[in-house]
Amino acid sequence: MARIPTAPIKGARDFLPRDLAPRNRVFQLMRETFERYGYEPLETPAIEHSSVLEGKYGEEGERLLFRVLKNGRDLESAAGELLGRGAEADRSAGALARALSESALRYDLTVPLARVIAARQNEIVMPFRRYQMQPVWRGDRPQRGRYREFFQCDVDCVGSRAMTVDAEMVAIHYEVYSRLGFQTFVTQVSHRGLLDALMESCGVAPELRTPARTQIDKFDKIGADGVRAELLRVGLSERVTDALLDTLSVSGAPLDILETLAPRLRGTEQGETSMRELREVFGFIRELGVPQERYELRLSMVRGSDYYTGTIYETVLPGSGLGTLGAGGRYDKLVGMFLGRDIPAVGISFGIERMLVAMADAGLLLGDVITTTQALVTLFDAATTPASIALAQALRAAGVRTEVYPEPKGLGPQLAFGSNKGIPLAFIIGPDEAARGEVKLRDLRTRQEVSVPQAAAPAEALTRLE
Amino acid sequence: MARIPTAPIKGARDFLPRDLAPRNRVFQLMRETFERYGYEPLETPAIEHSSVLEGKYGEEGERLLFRVLKNGRDLESAAGELLGRGAEADRSAGALARALSESALRYDLTVPLARVIAARQNEIVMPFRRYQMQPVWRGDRPQRGRYREFFQCDVDCVGSRAMTVDAEMVAIHYEVYSRLGFQTFVTQVSHRGLLDALMESCGVAPELRTPARTQIDKFDKIGADGVRAELLRVGLSERVTDALLDTLSVSGAPLDILETLAPRLRGTEQGETSMRELREVFGFIRELGVPQERYELRLSMVRGSDYYTGTIYETVLPGSGLGTLGAGGRYDKLVGMFLGRDIPAVGISFGIERMLVAMADAGLLLGDVITTTQALVTLFDAATTPASIALAQALRAAGVRTEVYPEPKGLGPQLAFGSNKGIPLAFIIGPDEAARGEVKLRDLRTRQEVSVPQAAAPAEALTRLE
């Protein structure tokens, strides 16, 4: 047989049980938290019609789509047409993809949400709070914490403009990260209109606002002096630059900052709206009980995506060098794209892959078990096998996750198997134990052994597993 | 904007929350059962190298692969080469697929398991009990209960030849189906070598055994008389046919059947092996406590796939017209395919899509909730909103899955929203309740209302949700 690769494709991963233990714990915790806030699960197919995905992710994003090749006669006729055109055929990757494929793998979870909202508009009751945790595919260059097949975990509320929902985004972030054990995270909050209104009030010319925004986005990387130099470089005057940096440097509790900036924000629609909405959001965040050190108003925040229209969020772990762990915002124009009318929405996305890296770095995965299995029942010989199998069933009935070693074999290898797998408890019924109706319980973590009556084994196991 | 389809692609489905409630319950129950038997989760990527999948599923299966189109320069050069060949180009779908693609979507979970076993042989401790529940893709013609994107749920034990493990397959089937509420299912058990040995002992010529097997497989559909006619038609003599049907009609408890057939099975390797292994398996099944009416030895069973080498299993719901709900067997030659040496394995696959159809038919889904959310907190006005939000947080802290209506609005629409979604409880804090520190609890199922102190609301909710 020719040598066949056994590694997964580039940028994708196999998850062995020990890899899945922490992943599944994080997924489960997120699922519980989302549901506790009234968000419900939604799942959509991996493959979407190309027309659903095209025109949504920009030219660069579209190049990264994993497209599904047409098959059978459809493929033959598409290729036949291409070959028929011969030298005339458009040989660009984009044109070829459009000719040879009509569907592609999911690139994110927002476009499928928008599609489902349109397809099932008569069934879905608004406001619709949903979460979705499924893989997406992007033909990006793989690097640490970045994959071609990776999970996205999105939480969105569709159909309401009320700021109570925006505040929930911060509360959900807070619950997820604090329950995972993170201690120093901060959710930065701002509003799409805020920075623009501040730039306007400081006299930044309209045509300079986009380049200025790009530079302000670098605050964390290059500091205030760096940003100052860059703003001057892109054409802001010294006076305007200093006024802007002075404004952005206002610090304090969110509502105090808004109070200080109020005179600057009054009079423009962007300023008024962002001020009103941020005041409401911070009020609701407080009522939701999020501790004040876990969130802040970040005047210099610029979320990259064009589609945000209101409040915006980024959760960071200061000093981790990891960038954003989760982010989102309000996007009132996007979900209605397939319906041809606006439907307000706000949502956040948890960067599960980066979160797991951060958890490993912070030592938050150390307690994770490496196997789901809790007990190993060994087999001594054919005569004692029935008693051992019955014991295994009794353990299972008590809720103990129990594996039976498949066949009688030296005890040493069987116990080594259990230790290697990280199973905490082993049970042994040899002829002596069988004669006395007992079982030997060996704690593979401490190597301590104790004999107990077979009927008492499940209770004993549960005590030791607590 | 051009009209874009909003339905999912053919053969795929969107799962709204109410669709996911029963699905996730079934998945969760399977996951728990598998883990209780010491099986651990494994996940592999959706996309595999084509060379991993090719040559594994037969010509027909290979035609059904969803192939991923090469992209960027790889696509341009593949197409360039094709166009360069012009009229000489092989325009068959197979050749085009090989030229234009080098990866494809997962078609089953067995080949990825075999690949992982090879890739991670130094890490994986054998025997390796794993389960995997992930979608697979097949470009089949969609029909009721058959989709192009659907989940497979596989449970396999790799690395042991012991019949204790084979018996577990029947026990796991039993636990899953009985815990789901099925009452009449039967797991049919046989052995790959048994039917062949019986045919040999009845004098069926070697070249007639394959056609005969195909006819015997129709027992359920066409009955003994039908099979008799077909066996004669394919060339068995009357004497041989009658001897064979007589043998296959032996009935009774599995060990009794084996006892009766023992003289016929002795003397050939197939006969001896199948008899010995089946005796062991049925012994262990009994020790695992599976009730005897839930399994049987089915002499006429023929599992289609060529790769089975030992015990085989099919679970059916007699009278449901649904065919097999789950099936599997021992396959000692397949998992080692990437290693170039045999690794014994036994496994079963649960037909989740068909199981859900069967559950709906049997009325086993009626009790399923249609939303995960348990409580709706209404908002009366701006003044009472803080108290309502605080109440929601108290409910959540107590573990009640709670949604807050996003904004003050007439109570009627808010309660209608809760009822429409199937949320059982609603909470109302109006000015009167706020003044008294109380909250009105409305049971949306019974329309009963009661006022309770706000601090008592979580406990009251938990009581009513029990």
Question: CB distance B17–A41 less than 8 Å?
Answer: yes
- DSSP H helices, A375-427, are 385-397, 411-421
- List the single best residue of A26, A32, A404 to mutate versus B (max B Cβ within 10 A): A404
Q: Are strands A128-137 and A40-41 parallel, antiparallel or unpaired?
A: parallel
**Do residues B323 and B146 make contact, with C-beta atoms less than 8 angstroms apart?**
no
**Do residues B367 and B430 make contact, with C-beta atoms less than 8 angstroms apart?**
no
According to the model, what pLDDT value does residue B220 have?
82
Tens of pLDDT along A40-52? Answer: 999 999 999 999 9
According to the model, what pLDDT value does residue B170 have?
97
Mapped onto helix, strand or coil, the DSSP state of residue B89 is coil
Domains, chain A:
17-46+107-361 (3.30.930.10), 48-105 (no CATH), 375-465 (3.40.50.800)
According to the model, what pLDDT value does residue B323 have?
82
pLDDT confidence band for A5 (50 / 70 / 90): confident
Per-residue pLDDT 10s for chain B (466 aa) are 456 889 999 999 999 999 999 999 999 999 999 999 999 999 999 999 999 999 888 888 999 999 999 988 999 999 989 888 888 888 899 999 999 999 999 999 999 999 999 999 999 999 999 999 999 999 988 887 789 999 999 999 999 999 999 999 999 999 999 999 999 999 999 999 999 999 999 999 999 999 999 999 888 889 899 999 999 999 999 999 999 999 999 999 999 999 999 999 998 999 999 999 999 999 999 999 999 999 999 999 988 767 899 999 999 998 888 889 999 999 998 888 899 899 999 999 999 999 998 999 989 987 777 889 999 999 999 999 999 999 999 999 999 999 999 999 899 999 999 999 999 999 999 999 999 999 999 999 999 999 999 999 999 999 999 8
According to the model, what pLDDT value does residue B15 have?
97
Cis preceding-peptide flag for B127 (omega within 30 of 0):
yes
Question: Which residues fall within 8 angstroms of residue B36, CB to CB, at 6 or more apart?
Answer: A396, A399, A400, A401, A402, B175
Residue B64 tokens, joined: 């059904």
What is the DSSP track for A96-141?
Answer: HHHHHEEEEE---SHHHHHHHHHHTTTTPPSSEEEEEEEEEE--PP
pLDDT confidence band for A306 (50 / 70 / 90): confident
Question: Which residues fall within 8 angstroms of residue A439, CB to CB, at 6 or more apart?
Answer: A391, A427, A428, A429, A433, A451, A452, A453, A454, A457
Picking from B44, B83, B139, the nearest residue to A14 by CB comes out as: B44
Top-ranked range on mean pLDDT: pick from A27-41, A77-91, A215-229: A27-41
Question: CB distance A79–B82 less than 8 Å?
Answer: yes
**Do residues B363 and B22 make contact, with C-beta atoms less than 8 angstroms apart?**
no
Residue showing tokens 């109440």: B391
Residue B153, beta-bridge partner list: B133, B350
pLDDT confidence band for A438 (50 / 70 / 90): very high
Picking from B92, B125, B396, the nearest residue to A420 by CB comes out as: B125
Strand boundaries in A409-448, DSSP class E: 425-428, 438-443
Question: Positive or negative CA dihedral for B447, B450, B453, B458?
Answer: negative
- List the single best residue of B10, B32, B62, B69 to mutate versus A (max A Cβ within 10 A): B69
First to last CA, chain B: 50
**B313 CA to chain A: closest CA distance, Å?**
19
Phi–psi pair at B181, nearest 5 degrees: 105, 0
According to the model, what pLDDT value does residue B49 have?
96
Provide the CA A267 distance to its chain's centre, in angstroms.
Answer: 39
Region A11-34 average pLDDT: 95
A465 contact B CB<8A: no
Q: How far apart are CA A50 and CA B401, in angstroms?
A: 37
According to the model, what pLDDT value does residue A2 have?
54
Q: Which A residues in the span 424-453 are in contact with B, Cβ-Cβ below 8 Å?
A: none
Asked if pLDDT for residue A1 goes beyond 60, the answer is: no
**Do residues B189 and B313 make contact, with C-beta atoms less than 8 angstroms apart?**
yes
Question: Which residues fall within 8 angstroms of residue A462, CB to CB, at 6 or more apart?
Answer: A398, A399, A400
Q: How far apart are CA B65 and CA A71, in angstroms?
A: 9
Computed over every residue of chain A, the mean pLDDT equals: 93
Tens of pLDDT along A196-224? Answer: 999 999 999 999 999 999 999 888 889 89
Residue showing tokens 């009661």: B450
Q: Are strands A67-69 and A40-41 parallel, antiparallel or unpaired?
A: unpaired
According to the model, what pLDDT value does residue B2 have?
54
Residue A19 tokens, joined: 């890899």
Find chain B residues with C-beta within 8 A of A353's C-beta: none
Tens of pLDDT along B312-321? Answer: 999 999 888 8
According to the model, what pLDDT value does residue B1 have?
47
Mapped onto helix, strand or coil, the DSSP state of residue A330 is strand
For chain A, what is the total number of helices (H) and then of strands (E)? 18, 16
How big, in percent rounded to 5, are the helix, strand and coil portions of chain A?
Answer: 45, 20, 35
**B196 CA to chain A: closest CA distance, Å?**
27
**Do residues A234 and A213 make contact, with C-beta atoms less than 8 angstroms apart?**
no
B28 contact A CB<8A: no
According to the model, what pLDDT value does residue A143 have?
83
Tens of pLDDT along A122-172? Answer: 999 999 999 999 999 999 888 877 899 999 999 999 999 999 999 999 999
Residue B251 tokens, joined: 């009935």
DSSP at A399: T
Q: How far apart are CA B449 and CA B431, in angstroms?
A: 17
According to the model, what pLDDT value does residue A145 have?
73
Kindly give the interhelix angle for B192-202 and B269-287, rounded to the nearest 10 degrees.
Answer: 140
DSSP at B383: T
> pTM, whole model, 2 decimals?
0.93
Residue B317 tokens, joined: 């719901």
According to the model, what pLDDT value does residue B366 have?
76
In this structure, which long-range contacts are made by residues B49-52, counting pairs with CB atoms below 8 Å and at least 24 apart in sequence? B49/A4, B49/A5, B49/A9, B49/B102, B49/B103, B50/B98, B50/B101, B50/B102, B50/B103, B50/B104, B51/A2, B51/A4, B51/A5, B52/A4, B52/A5, B52/A6, B52/B111, B52/B112, B52/B115, B52/B338
Find chain A residues with C-beta within 8 A of B120's C-beta: 14, 16
Q: How far apart are CA A282 and CA A259, in angstroms?
A: 13
A123 contact B CB<8A: yes
**Do residues A25 and A368 make contact, with C-beta atoms less than 8 angstroms apart?**
yes
DSSP at B461: H
**Do residues A155 and A39 make contact, with C-beta atoms less than 8 angstroms apart?**
yes
- List the single best residue of B332, B379, B403 to mutate versus A (max A Cβ within 10 A): B403
Q: How far apart are CA B86 and CA B195, in angstroms?
A: 53
